[in-house]
Amino acid sequence: MSTQEVFIQQFANLFHYYSEALSSGTEQASVRNSAAVNDQQRLFEAARLAIQDLECRPCPETEARRYFAKPGEAEWGC
């Protein structure tokens, strides 16, 4: 699985989580147009929160490469 596929899967999971969390506190609107606008705003907010959550996480490639020396910087010896 590529890193792009992992990112998409993580984003989808977070988006679903935040979308459900934001919709649980909303009441049903009687006017159809205002309900559509509220749903759209809720989905935008869920996407924003999911992206913000992903940005705050450390990059797995950065963590894996943290302990390796850059080319030409390794110390050799016995």
pTM of the model: 0.55
pLDDT, position 70: 72
Q: What percent of the chain has pLDDT over 70?
A: 67
Distance CA 25, CA 32 (A): 18
Which residues have C-beta within 8 Å of that of residue 15, sequence separation ≥ 6? 46, 47, 50
11-15, 46-50, 65-69: segment of lowest average pLDDT: 65-69
Q: How far is CA 34 from CA 15, 21, 39, in A?
A: 22, 20, 9
Residues 24-45 pLDDT 10s = 765 554 445 667 778 889 889 9
